[in-house]
Amino acid sequence: MAPLSCHGLAWKVDLPWHPEIGDINIQKSSGSSNIELQCKIYHFFPDLLTVKWYEKKKGGQEVHVTDSDKYKISEIRERDANLTFSSNPSLSFEKSFIAEEEVEFICRVEHPCMKNPILSSTGLLQVTDSQNFIVNNIQGPQSWIFGEKVTLYCAASYCKEDTLVTWILREDNGPTHKVSELLSERDSKHGMFQSADYMALRERTETSDTEGLQDITSSLSFRPSISKHKNMVTICRLSCGGKTKQKTFQPKNLYAKPKASDSIKLSLLDSGEVLGSFNIQEFYPNDIQITWTGGRQSAYDKLESSEHFTDKDSIHNVLSECKIDGRLFKNPDFTVKVSWKHGSMDVWESRQVSVSDKGKY
């Protein structure tokens, strides 16, 4: 067998396990002046990842950051359940080491399976002036499933007690929603929360390491739909001490999980063939993999099939059909199997039928 390969290596097949990168999370321990930047990189294979950190002062150029007295760099790599690798690199430093008022940190990732590096950035941070509040990147799932609850989190440090948090949602071809967070059950009774579709809550309020200031976390929960949230942008806006800052979040994937028929339908054709039919409904997007196989025990051959798609309100349905030589069913152990895989699914699912499955078709 010819060896597999990525770009730049002497392999002949591109591998599908390109690394993906999440937002940089900013961690600050209570009572400590240390700041730690954490990044998550996942779904890559082989384990040939290169991670580099860069510092960029406002108006300046990117400077490569290495492990030193000023910066501490660490990385933990793990093999996940799906046999791909994940990496958790971090960069930590003392606030006093950052001379500039506003600094941006960038995590850049290279891998042989990618032509170009990918990166994640903190945006401009104000880390030395404790009176200026810091807003972290919004944290939440990068893949949303239709009808399944999604919760996004936005944390901020060095906030005044009267800090106001507003979540703004710009739906695809629809209205813009502004949702104020509930600070307590009392606020709900007084009508602060006005949307039936979205709920914003103050999840955490803790005393900061600077007297008179607080560290807070706000959350927004909702159940995504395809029509409203296909291209939705979510903004968390904080107003504190006359200043306003905001962070933006947009998921990488929006899915509706396919709903499959209970069984394969078999019918006889005049040609002597048997027609296998299988319906898969209500999925999004429409890139779904469907394969038919036939055989007995562990010896299965791939069968040709045809797919007929129908769409309604951005939701897709497909009828998959496969013609099978009727003579194969003379063997009571002959089995027909249909398998499918969609981006919303972790593993392939399947249905199968054979002559011995009496009454099932």
Q: What percent of the chain shows pLDDT beyond 70?
A: 86
On average, the pLDDT of the chain sits at 85
**CATH at residue 70:** 2.60.40.10
Residue 360 counted as domain residue: no
Residues 52 and 115 in one domain: yes
pLDDT at 263 over 50: yes
- pLDDT confidence band for 133 (50 / 70 / 90): confident
Residues 201 and 315 in one domain: no
Residues 88 and 137 in one domain: no
Domain of 267 in residue numbering reads as: 259-354
| Domain limit, last residue, from 211, 229, 254 | 254
Residues 69 and 188 in one domain: no
Question: pLDDT digits over 163-221, tens only?
Answer: 999 999 987 667 788 898 875 444 444 334 446 788 999 999 999 888 889 999 999 99
Residues 37 and 116 in one domain: yes
Residue 85 counted as domain residue: yes
Residues 243 and 301 in one domain: no
Residue 172 counted as domain residue: yes
| Domain limit, last residue, from 93, 108, 129 | 129
Residue 361 counted as domain residue: no
Residues 213 and 268 in one domain: no
Residue 359 counted as domain residue: no
Structure confidence at residue 12 (pLDDT): 38
Residues 174 and 193 in one domain: yes
Question: pLDDT digits over 275-320, tens only?
Answer: 999 999 999 999 999 999 999 877 889 999 999 999 988 899 999 9
Residues 158 and 234 in one domain: yes
Residue 95 counted as domain residue: yes
Residues 8 and 84 in one domain: yes
Q: What percent of the chain shows pLDDT beyond 90?
A: 57
Question: pLDDT digits over 20-53, tens only?
Answer: 999 998 887 655 678 899 999 999 999 999 999 9
> What string of H, E and C letters represents the secondary structure of the chain?
CCCCCCCCCCCCCCCCCCCEECCCEEEECCCCCEEEEECCEEEECCCCCEEEEEEEECCCCEEEECCCCCCEEEEEEEECCCCCEEEEEEEEEEHHHCCCCCEEEEEEEECCCCCCCEEEEEEEECCCCCCCCEECCCECCCEEECCCCEEEEEEEEEECCCCEEEEEEECCCCCEEEEECECCHHHHHCCCCCCCCEEEEEEEEEECCCCCCEEEEEEEEECCCHHHHCCCEEEEEEEECCEEEEEEECCCEEEECCEECCCCEEEECCCCEEEEEEEEEEEECCCEEEEEEEEECCEEEEECCEEEEEEECCEEEEEEEEEEEHHHHHCCCCEEEEEEEECCCCCCEEEEEECCCCCCC
Structure confidence at residue 108 (pLDDT): 96
Q: How many domains does the chain have?
A: 3
Residues 329 and 221 in one domain: no
